[in-house]
Amino acid sequence: MRLRLPEERPTEPPTGFKIAHPVLSQDGTRAGFTGVSLGGALPYGVVADASCVYGRRHRAPARLCDCGFHCVHERAAAEALLCTEEHRAAVLLDITVLGAYIRFERGFRYARQRVRIATVGPCACGARAVALADAGWGRPGWRALAAACAGCVRGRTSVSLATFARLAGDGLRVVAGGDPVETVDPGLPEGLGVPELVAEAALLQARLDWFQSRLAHLEGGGAQQQAGP
């Protein structure tokens, strides 16, 4: 006799939490996320469908496989994962579970998801993040990003939180320190509000300061060479 899992028919899609690394496409036109464990080599968008990472032809989530997206029920459980060394640079995702799912004691394994909110932690120096900057690693065609403050961005490839949300699309909201950054229609970049403009200005000022310090260093080196014998 084949055992069948009990069926649920919720009136609204379930919600959950997970962690992931934000990523930016090589050409800088798209943004998304990549997982921290199973399936981490496959970046996904704000709205995405799961597939079996083992290459099997069944639809995810299969009962006798561990494929599919994963999330936990409680926000605190997902935040606890951010305490580990390898996950410190990840962001917290608030997601909606779509399609078929399998419920477990601590979370779901499911076929389709929508990322509603991405919460970005502080910069590695401890300051409030205003941007997501090149983390120094990535996947083929994608750069992994990590939280950065205005002073730590320097000359790295980076995007403001609002720009990341706009590139990711599909209504994604990006949050830093509990203050939401409103997303903007990709076709209407002139609609940026005060929070977005402040973040962009801080990012530009940090880059300007870095370039000025480099220029001063180069000019100082050149003066010393001219003064020598």
Q: Is residue 53 part of a domain?
A: yes
pTM, whole model, 2 decimals? 0.76
What's the CA gap between 148 and 124, in Å, rounded?
7
Longest dimension (CA), the chain: 93
Residues 6+ apart with CB under 8 A from 84: none
Question: Is the bond leading into 140 cis (omega within 30 degrees of zero)?
Answer: no
> What pLDDT score does 181 carry?
44
> What pLDDT score does 210 carry?
73
Q: Which residues is 94 bridged to in the sheet?
A: 17, 117
Percent of the chain past pLDDT 70, that is, above it, reads 83
Helices (H), the chain: 75-81, 150-153, 161-168, 194-227
User: Which structural domain range is residue 198 located in?
Assistant: 15-222
Q: Determine the residue type at 203.
A: L
Average pLDDT, the chain: 85
Worst-scoring range by mean pLDDT, 25-34, 46-55, 127-136, 186-195? 186-195
Domains: count for the chain: 1
28-87: pLDDT as tens digits: 999 999 999 877 888 999 999 998 888 788 888 998 898 999 999 999 999 999 999 999
Q: Is residue 30 part of a domain?
A: yes
Q: Is residue 7 part of a domain?
A: no
What's the CA gap between 182 and 171, in Å, rounded?
9
